[in-house]
Structure formats: structure tokens, C-alpha cells
């Protein structure tokens, strides 16, 4: 809107007519005082100001306007009878656009100047708006930066108070903070402590984790700068996500050397104990067999009944000891597979026979579905038998009071898949990932069913050595399907 200020209504009228004719919005004031009041109340793009007015004259109005932040940028066109002292005008109104027109007003020149100032005003407005947006943006960024710095400082404070070695890195894995403890192990703040020559390279393992956007968990041996011996540490590097992108990594090295030592001692004890148990057990087995054959004829029935019971218990003990021996073989990397071609269908039939034979007192039927395997399989027959017996024994054990188990076999793209399904107690979903771990048993049911939690671990190791896969589908109360696959070639 344009404000026309003149004490003579006829002057105002002609100017108003001229400007309205060109579609400008116009407001008017008949004195300097009125003009000042209006300027404070409304927004004007331009003021056309008569210089000679009674009361406050045009120059004084301009000077007053220049003192208000609201009006200091409004352009002014002075109307004066004579070409008045321009220097005074410019001084009084230094920051605004200034021009003057002498009376009588030439309409063409006035319109030209009005248009120019109007455009100038619009541009100034746009510029101010952009500036304001920029200022807001800067404010927001400053605030975000301050918050981020505060969070980072807080994180560093926490990491500093940890008993572990701790560090953070940026999204591309450049270390940008290390706690005090770091310097007991590393000579520089940007490179990892020295690892044992036989251990995996931290940088390579982490690069791989970064590539897949996953946390890294690694057992490595590192040593204190002034020490000679390496100690086992668990290195964990977790990504921190912001808007689903990795913005940082936080890492810790936790000393697990004592725990590893205890684990090693336990493994050694198990290994020695199972070896030592095996020899007397083998003799007991042999002598009970001899005993069975030498029963006195008059007491043959009761005698054999008792000997059979001893034999069953001895063979249970034998399989426990064999499992423990297998565990120590796995721990020492000595579980070797003896690969030979054999007929899978014969093996399966034998396994089912054995299961019926060893579980005479249960009324479960083992159903066979899927296609029969015609081609010979190359694998360790005894070990595959062990896996099948383990899956089936579990299916019987963990499905009491049910009447069937299904064994399904299928082949697909050079792969043999064997599934054992029961309709028993099932396994909660959150426990399923751990089922094949060493000594793992589902807590809720562990008291009701006897076991050591090593059968499936041994199975997983056997299948792994055959380059096969294993897993399960299960629903609590409905049953479980345990499967494994073997490559056919
Ligand atoms: P064990 O049976 O001697 O405890 P396993 O290694 O064979 O050891 O099995 C580990 C755990 O997995 C078991 O303790 C049990 O909790 C669970 N499990 C295995 N098979 C089944 C199954 N068919 N149904 C339900 N739970 C099972």
C-alpha cells in the first residue's frame, strides 16, 4: 500500500486517482502527525510525502520515520515546490530509498518512480524474508549442534567411567574418541591395540560388519603396552542409528581372559573325565554281556531281566560319555568326518528300527513322508545316524502323550532335506536361536525332562562339517520340526 501525505485534499485527490488508476492500493494522511500514526499502525510499501506542511513538515516526518525500525526502510518520494536541499534529505533518511519530485507533479515521472520504488520494496521484502528463514535455519542448526555436542559429551563421560577400554568412531569407522584405559593398550588414539598374531584382524572384521550394517562381536587377544602376555578380550562394536542411517559406532574391549581360563579348565576336566570314564565303562559293558550269557538255567528269567536292566542303564551312560567325548573333540578341533558313499534309505530304516527297539514302552508311530532317496549319499554314515537318532529321541522325549512323529525327506537342487516333526511341547520363539548352542536347555522345561543340552550342539557341528544347514520351526504347545540339509554332491 502507498501512503500519500499532503495537507491539501485536492493534491491528495489527484495523486490518489492517478495511482488507483494503475491498480495501486492507496492510503492518505492530511498531516505529518496523522502520517506518523498511520505508519506505526499499518504497513506501507512507499510514502509520497509533501515537504511543506503546517505542523510537522515532510523532512521532520522522514527523520522521525528513520528512527523506527518498522519504518526505516520504507522508501519516500518527497514532493516539493522547489528543488530543496537534497543533502539534508539524504542525511535525515540515510537508510531508506529517497527521491523527490517537484511540483507541479508530472504524472509519468511520478508513476515511473512509484513503480521503481514499489519493485524495490517488494525485493527488499523478499530479501528480508529469505534472511529471516536463513537466520531461523542457522538457529535450528546451532541448537541441534549444541544438543549433539551435549549428547556426545555425555556419552564420552559414560565411556570414561567404564572399567573397559572404550572408544567411538564416526560413520566410516575413523576413531574419534578413546577413554583413558585405551592408552594402557594402544600407543595412538587412532589405531587399535596390537592383537595376537593368530587372531583375526580387527580392521578387516569391522570393515565387513560395516559393509553389512551389523554390530561386531569378536574375541581377540590384546596386551597392555608394558606387559608381555596377551589376554583375551571381547570386542563389541555397536552402530548408533539416526534416521535409519549409521551415524556413529561405539566400541568396548572387555577382559574375558579369566572366564576363558575357567572355561578351558572346565573343558579339560570334561575331556579327562569322559576319557577316564570310557575305559571302565567299556569293560562293564563287556562283562554284563558275558554275564547275560552265563545265567544259571533255573534262574534264567529273573537273572536276564536284571542283566537287561543293567545293560540299558550302561548303554545310556555310554551314550552320555560318548557325547561328552564328542564335545571335547569339537573343542579341540578333532571331530573328523569319515566320508563314504552309502544308501540313505537303508540307514533311515535302521535308525527307525533302533528307535523302536530302544523305546519299547512308548506307543508312538514314526511316519515317513516325502520322496525316497535313490542316489547314494556321500557323508559320514555313523555321524548322520547319530544326528537322526538325536532328532528322533528328542521328538519322543519332548512330545509325551502324543502318538506320532513324521520324518519327511525331500531333495531340491542338489540338496537333501530331512525334517523330523513332533506334536509336543514346542519351543518359545525367543529361545529358538539358542537351541543349537552348547549346554543350552529351555529353562521352563529343563526340570521335567532329563538332559545335558549337548545333543543338538554336536548335531550342528556334524552338519556344519558336512557343509549342510540346520534349524527348526516350532510353536509352543503345538510341536516342533527340526531339519537339516546335506549337499548331494
Ligand atoms: P537335551 O535334550 O539333552 O537337553 P539337546 O541338545 O538335544 O539336549 O536339546 C537342547 C534343548 O532343546 C533341550 O533341552 C530342549 O529344551 C530343547 N529341545 C530339543 N528338541 C526339542 C523338541 N523336539 N521339542 C521341544 N524342545 C526341544
Answer yes or no: is the C-beta of 427 below 6 A from any ligand 1 atom.
yes
In the chain, the percentage of residues whose pLDDT exceeds 90 is: 64
Q: Name the 3-class secondary structure at 35.
A: helix
Mean pLDDT of 478-486: 97
Quote the mean pLDDT of the chain: 90
Q: Which of 436, 395, 421 is nearest to 473 (CA)?
A: 421
Atom of ligand 1 nearest to the CA of 395: 23
In the chain, the percentage of residues whose pLDDT exceeds 70 is: 97
Q: Name the 3-class secondary structure at 42.
A: coil
Of the spans 55-64, 369-378, 443-452, which averages the highest pLDDT?
Answer: 369-378
Report the distance separating Cα 121 and Cα 44, nearest Å.
9
Q: Which of 10, 50, 14, 11 is nearest to 32 (CA)?
A: 50
Mean pLDDT of 310-319: 89
Is 60 exceeded by the pLDDT of residue 85?
A: no
According to the model, what pLDDT value does residue 223 have?
A: 93
Answer yes or no: is the C-beta of 393 below 6 A from any ligand 1 atom.
no
Q: Name the 3-class secondary structure at 294.
A: coil
Atom of ligand 1 nearest to the CA of 459: 6
- pLDDT band at residue 75 under the 50/70/90 scheme: confident
Q: What's the gap in Å between 327 CA and the centre of ligand 1? A: 16
- pLDDT band at residue 86 under the 50/70/90 scheme: low
Query: What is 372-413 written as a DSSP string?
Result: ---S-EEE-HHHHHHHHHHHHHHHHHTSTT--EEEEEEEEET
Whether residue 480 sits in one domain with residue 347 = yes
Is 80 exceeded by the pLDDT of residue 251?
A: yes
Q: Mind listing the pLDDT tens digit for each residue in 400-436? A: 999 999 999 999 888 999 999 999 999 999 999 999 9
Residue 148, domain member (yes or no): no
Whether residue 117 sits in one domain with residue 167 = no
Residue identifier of the C-alpha nearest atom 7 of ligand 1: 455
Report the distance separating Cα 50 and Cα 77, nearest Å.
9
Atom of ligand 1 nearest to the CA of 456: 6
Answer yes or no: is the C-beta of 479 below 6 A from any ligand 1 atom.
no
Answer yes or no: is the C-beta of 114 below 6 A from any ligand 1 atom.
no
Chain CA centroid to CA 333, Å = 33
Cβ-based neighbours of 105, under 8 Å, separated by 6 or more: 14, 15, 79
Angle, CA of 464, 476 and 419, to the nearest 5°: 35
Residue 299, domain member (yes or no): yes
Q: What's the gap in Å between 164 CA and the centre of ligand 1? A: 36
Which residues is 417 bridged to in the sheet?
410, 485
Q: Distances in Å between the alpha carbon of 86 and those of 32, 89, 323, 360? A: 20, 5, 108, 120
How many structural domains compose the chain?
4
Q: Which of 426, 431, 346 is nearest to 394 (CA)?
A: 426
Answer yes or no: is the C-beta of 32 below 6 A from any ligand 1 atom.
no
Residue 151, domain member (yes or no): no
Q: Mind listing the pLDDT tens digit for each residue in 125-168? A: 899 899 999 999 999 999 999 998 998 899 999 999 999 999 99
Whether residue 266 sits in one domain with residue 251 = no
According to the model, what pLDDT value does residue 91 have?
A: 47
Q: Distances in Å between the alpha carbon of 139 and those of 82, 133, 157? A: 50, 10, 27
From 401, 443, 451, 475, the mutation candidate for ligand 1 (largest count of ligand atoms within 8 A of CB) is 451
User: Higher-confidence residue: 234 or 81?
Assistant: 234
Answer yes or no: is the C-beta of 442 below 6 A from any ligand 1 atom.
yes
Contact 339/306 with Cβ under 8 angstroms? no
Whether residue 244 sits in one domain with residue 207 = yes
Is 80 exceeded by the pLDDT of residue 96?
A: no
According to the model, what pLDDT value does residue 84 have?
A: 54
Answer yes or no: is the C-beta of 398 below 6 A from any ligand 1 atom.
yes
Among 205, 232, 255, residue at a domain's last position: 255
Residue 214, domain member (yes or no): yes
Question: Which of 99-108, 168-177, 269-278 has the lowest average pLDDT?
Answer: 99-108
- pTM, to two decimals: 0.62
According to the model, what pLDDT value does residue 39 have?
A: 92
Whether residue 118 sits in one domain with residue 13 = yes
Answer yes or no: is the C-beta of 341 below 6 A from any ligand 1 atom.
no
Whether residue 185 sits in one domain with residue 64 = no
**What sections of 212-343 are H helices per DSSP?**
257-293, 300-331
Is 80 exceeded by the pLDDT of residue 209?
A: yes
Whether residue 459 sits in one domain with residue 382 = yes
Whether residue 481 sits in one domain with residue 345 = yes
Answer yes or no: is the C-beta of 445 below 6 A from any ligand 1 atom.
yes
According to the model, what pLDDT value does residue 294 have?
A: 84
Give the largest Cα separation in the chain, rounded: 152
Mean pLDDT of 261-273: 90
Answer yes or no: is the C-beta of 422 below 6 A from any ligand 1 atom.
yes
* Other CB atoms within 10 Å distance of the CB of residue 118: 16
DSSP 425: S
Mean pLDDT of 346-357: 94
Atom of ligand 1 nearest to the CA of 425: 25
Q: Mind listing the pLDDT tens digit for each residue in 17-29? A: 999 999 999 999 9
Whose cell is 542457522? That residue is 138
Query: Residue 461 maps to which CATH number?
Result: 3.30.565.10
Whether residue 264 sits in one domain with residue 241 = no
According to the model, what pLDDT value does residue 423 have?
A: 97
Q: What's the gap in Å between 450 CA and the centre of ligand 1? A: 10
Answer yes or no: is the C-beta of 392 below 6 A from any ligand 1 atom.
no
Residue 286, domain member (yes or no): yes
228 φψ region: left (φ > 0), alpha (ψ -120 to 50), beta (else): alpha
Among 211, 238, 255, residue at a domain's last position: 255
What the block records as the C-alpha cell of 219 is 574375541
According to the model, what pLDDT value does residue 304 have?
A: 84
According to the model, what pLDDT value does residue 19 have?
A: 93
According to the model, what pLDDT value does residue 95 have?
A: 43
Q: Distances in Å between the alpha carbon of 317 and those of 103, 249, 277, 321, 361? A: 122, 50, 10, 6, 19
User: Higher-confidence residue: 242 or 421?
Assistant: 421
Identify the domain containing residue 216 by its residue range.
Answer: 162-255
According to the model, what pLDDT value does residue 301 have?
A: 81
What the block records as the C-alpha cell of 278 is 570310557
Q: Which of 388, 392, 372, 391 is nearest to 380 (CA)?
A: 388
Query: Residue 232 maps to which CATH number?
Result: 3.30.450.20
182, containing H or E segment = none
Residue 146, domain member (yes or no): no
Q: What's the gap in Å between 437 CA and the centre of ligand 1? A: 11
Query: Residue 96 maps to which CATH number?
Result: 3.40.50.2300
- pLDDT band at residue 83 under the 50/70/90 scheme: low
Among 128, 154, 179, residue at a domain's last position: 128
According to the model, what pLDDT value does residue 33 have?
A: 93
Q: Which residues of 447-464 are buried (b: 16+ CB within 10 A; e: fewer)?
A: eeeeeeebbbbbbbbbbe
Amino acid at each position: 500500500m502507498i501512503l500519500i501525505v499532503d495537507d491539501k485534499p485536492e493534491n491528495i485527490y489527484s495523486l490518489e486517482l492517478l495511482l488507483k488508476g494503475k491498480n495501486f492500493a492507496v492510503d492518505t494522511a492530511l498531516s505529518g502527525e496523522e502520517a506518523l500514526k498511520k505508519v506505526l499502525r499499518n504497513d506501507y510499501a512507499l510514502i509520497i510525502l509533501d515537504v511543506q506542511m503546517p505542523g510537522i513538515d515532510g523532512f521532520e516526518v522522514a527523520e522521525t520515520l528513520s528512527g523506527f525500525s518498522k519504518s526505516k526502510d520504507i522508501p519516500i518520494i518527497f514532493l516539493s515546490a522547489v528543488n530543496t536541499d537534497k543533502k539534508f534529505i539524504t542525511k535525515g533518511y540515510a537508510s531508506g530509498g529517497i527521491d523527490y519530485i517537484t511540483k507541479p507533479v508530472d504524472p509519468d515521472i511520478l508513476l515511473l518512480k512509484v513503480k521503481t520504488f514499489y519493485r524495490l520494496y517488494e525485493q527488499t521484502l523478499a530479501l528480508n524474508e529469505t534472511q529471516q528463514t536463513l537466520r531461523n535455519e542457522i538457529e535450528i542448526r546451532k541448537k541441534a549442534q549444541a544438543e549433539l555436542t551435549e549428547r556426545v559429551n555425555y556419552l564420552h563421560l559414560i565411556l570414561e567411567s567404564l572399567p573397559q577400554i572404550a572408544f567411538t568412531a564416526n560413520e566410516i569407522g575413523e576413531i574419534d574418541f578413546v577413554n583413558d584405559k585405551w592408552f594402557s593398550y594402544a600407543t595412538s588414539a587412532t589405531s587399535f591395540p596390537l592383537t595376537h598374531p593368530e587372531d583375526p584382524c580387527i580392521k578387516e572384521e569391522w570393515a565387513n560388519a560395516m559393509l553389512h550394517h551389523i554390530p561386531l562381536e569378536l574375541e581377540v587377544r590384546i596386551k597392555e603396552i608394558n606387559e608381555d602376555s596377551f589376554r583375551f578380550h571381547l570386542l563389541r562394536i555397536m552402530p548408533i542409528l539416526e534416521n535409519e542411517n549409521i551415524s556413529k559406532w561405539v566400541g568396548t574391549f572387555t577382559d574375558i581372559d579369566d572366564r576363558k581360563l575357567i572355561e578351558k579348565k572346565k573343558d579339560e576336566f570334561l575331556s579327562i573325565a569322559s576319557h577316564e570314564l570310557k575305559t571302565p565303562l567299556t569293560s562293564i559293558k563287556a562283562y554284563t554281556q558275558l554275564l547275560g550269557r552265563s545265567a544259571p538255567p533255573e534262574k534264567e528269567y529273573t537273572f536276564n531281566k536284571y542283566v537287561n536292566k543293567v545293560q540299558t542303564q550302561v548303554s545310556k551312560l555310554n551314550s552320555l560319555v560318548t557325547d561328552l567325548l564328542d564335545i571335547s573333540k569339537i573343542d579341540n578341533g578333532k571331530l573328523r568326518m569319515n566320508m563314504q558313499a552309502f544308501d540313505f534309505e537303508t540307514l533311515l530304516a535302521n535308525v527307525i528300527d533302533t528307535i523302536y527297539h530302544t523305546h519299547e514302552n512308548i506307543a508312538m508311530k514314526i511316519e515317513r513322508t516325502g520322496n525316497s532317496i535313490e542316489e547314494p549319499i556321500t557323508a559320514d554314515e555313523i555321524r548322520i545316524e547319530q544326528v537322526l537318532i538325536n532328532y528322533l529321541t528328542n521328538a519322543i522325549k519332548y512330545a509325551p502323550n502324543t502318538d506320532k512323529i513324521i520324518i519327511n525327506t525331500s531333495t531340491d537342487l542338489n540338496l537333501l532335506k530331512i525334517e523330523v516333526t513332533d506334536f509336543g511341547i514346542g519351543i518359545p520363539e525367543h529361545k529358538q536361536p539358542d537351541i543349537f548352542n552348547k549346554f543350552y536347555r529351555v529353562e521352563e522345561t529343563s526340570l521335567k525332562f532329563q538332559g545335558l543340552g549337548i545333543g543338538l550342539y554336536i548335531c550342528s557341528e556334524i552338519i556344519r562339517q558336512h557343509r549342510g544347514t540346520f534349524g527348526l520351526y516350532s510353536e509352543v504347545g503345538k510341536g516342533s520340526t527340526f531339519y537339516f540339509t546335506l549337499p548331494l554332491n
